Amino acid sequence: MSSTGNDRLDAALLRLVGVILLGGVLGLLSSTMVTVGLDLLAAEFDASLATIGWASTGFLLAVTIAIPFTTWAVDRYGGRRMWLIGLALFAAASLAAGFAWDAGSLVAFRILQGFGAGILDPLVLILLARAAGPARAGRVMGLMGVVLSLGPVVGPIFGGAVLERLDWPWMFHLSVLIAAVVFALSSKVLPADPPREAEQSQPRLDVIGMALIGPGVAALILAASQSAEHSAFTVWQTLLPLAAGAVLLAVYAFRALQPGSHPLIDLRMFANPGFSASVTIMGLTGVVMYASLIALPLYYQQAHGSTVLAAGLLVAPFGLGGTVSMPLAGWISDRIGSRSLARAGAIVLLACAIGLTRLDTDTPLVWPVAATLTMGLASGFVSAPTMGSLYRTLPASRVAQGSSVLYMLNQLGGSIGIAVVALILSVATEAVGGFQGVYWFLAVVLAAILAATWFLPGDYPPSNAEPRVKSAAGAVQS
């Protein structure tokens, strides 16, 4: 292929990546924007904060339940078709949420919106991985990491700006406008789903498996959410969903490992050390990221008297660091592999977390801001190579399942991180001691991430990556 052809291919791939990432922003913005408006929504609908909080919890649970279904549906109906269906469902639910008349209707429409996001979110990873191919997985996952890094930081700032100037329905109606633009662009740039040959067997939906794994993971997330709300792990509101989730997932694992079974998500993928390491690291990364995004604004407000907006802006360097480093780390990992980059990033993250255990009320703001910027930069060198390595270790037929596992564990990790932060801060005798405890906890988590990097696929010389380029070209052209 000529260099001109390669340029055209790269341009087509970039257009495709841009549209998919714009769609990937929808779920992140929707989930994080609403968090800053919960007080306003509670007042608007004359509901308690606990009741209106289900507008966020219900959304997250619906996302989790929808992910396993998407894993099956993308192979049965095609990625392009499911992407457009997800966009349409998300837009319709967003429009309805903006016209909610009470707290119950808002929660119901948010759950429907969550199902739409649960179709879109794993498809972002699936479509990007299939389009990029193994040779470009690091670069494209690096771009995906930009969205993952900026979304949780920009969402609350954007939501606050919207609520300051517009009425609350615009939190949802703006999502309709974005979804409509993404739908129109997707119709043009997403390649058609390849026709299925007549003799090719159609995958059957593992209904029992879906009834076990989706609610099972959702129950664990609910347990984490309830422990955060009640500041305890031993209350029945936490233990009941925790036990239910453990039982459902245990039954699913027993069925999935039976000889001759065709489960929704094949647990035999975990026999691959590289895959197990990748999804473990991304799950633990979710703990670190969401715990930091909860703890840092509270530290700035309680220890330094910052306003809500100022605290949000002071957290922004965390996301900006990841935005800068993710594409670079992904590009490098395509040439040298993942293990060394992820290990170096984990070491820097661990050093920063230990440094943040020294926070107190007299610490100049420049130090925590510099530390969180460094953590953001280092996180890119962990996440992008790790996500890229996952798609290099899986055959094409397992990409959808691997993406679902990665996304569910990342969501579960985020929920656990939030719950642990709430618990540590609630039992701390003083606020500063609580923040120090949070970062000692994160130091332990980061030590586990560092240990897991030893099981990532080994590094390789640049020449080994060259033969893979053709597979990427074929994926985009198909």
Binned at pLDDT 50, 70 and 90, residue 470 comes out as very low
Q: Residue 93 is part of which domain span?
A: 9-190
- Looking at 190, 220, 235, the residue that finishes a domain is 190
Structure tokens of 358?
Answer: 């020294």
CA-nearest of 118, 79, 111, 115 to 97 is 111
For 353-401, write each residue's pLDDT tens digit: 999 998 888 888 889 899 989 998 898 888 888 887 777 777 766 777 7
Residues 147 and 232 in one domain: no
Assess whether 165 and 243 both reside in one domain. Answer: no
Q: For the stretch 241-265, what's the b/e string if a residue is b when 16 or more beta carbons lie within 10 angstroms of its beta carbon?
A: bbebbeebbebbeebbeeeeeebbb
The string of pLDDT tens digits covering residues 246-265 is: 999 999 888 888 887 777 77
- Same domain as 454, residue 337: yes
Quick one: DSSP state of residue 195? P
Banded pLDDT at 1 (limits 50, 70, 90): very low
Count CB-CB contacts under 10 A for residue 52. Answer: 23
Instruction: Choose among 180, 152, 47, 162: nearest CA to 107.
Output: 47
Rounded to an integer, what distance in angstroms lies between the CA atom of residue 214 and that of residue 152? Answer: 24
CATH code (residue 442): 1.20.1250.20
68 located within any domain = yes
Residue 223 pLDDT > 80, yes or no?
yes
Looking at the domain assignment, is residue 284 inside a domain? yes
What is the per-residue DSSP string for 129-170? HHHH-GGGHHHHHHHHHHHHHHHHHHHHHHHHHHHHHS-TTH
The span from the CA of 152 to the CA of 143, in Å, is: 16
Chain segment 63-109, per-residue pLDDT in tens: 877 888 887 888 778 888 899 999 999 999 999 998 999 888 998 99
Q: How many percent of the chain have pLDDT more than 90?
A: 14
**Within this chain, do residues 293 and 417 fall inside the same structural domain, yes or no?**
yes
Same domain flag for 311 and 449: yes
Helix residue ranges, H only, 272-307: 273-304
Residue 385 lies in a domain: yes
Q: Is residue 210 part of a domain?
A: yes
**Residue 465: pLDDT band by 50, 70, 90 thresholds?**
very low
- 469: confidence class by pLDDT, cuts 50, 70, 90: very low
Q: What would the two tokens of residue 236 be?
A: 């029945």
Q: How far apart are the C-alpha atoms of 449 and 347, rounded to whole Å?
A: 9
Only one residue has tokens 């099981």, namely 455
363 with 425, same domain: the answer is yes
Q: How many domains does the chain have?
A: 3
- Asked if 429 and 381 sit in the same domain, the reply is yes
Question: Are residues 127 and 181 both part of a single domain?
Answer: yes
Q: Let me know whether 227 and 317 are in one domain.
A: no
pLDDT of residue 202: 59
Say if residue 110 is in the same domain as residue 186. yes
Note whether residue 201 is domain-resident: no
In a domain, 63, yes or no: yes
Q: Contact, 465 vs 138, CB < 8 A?
A: no
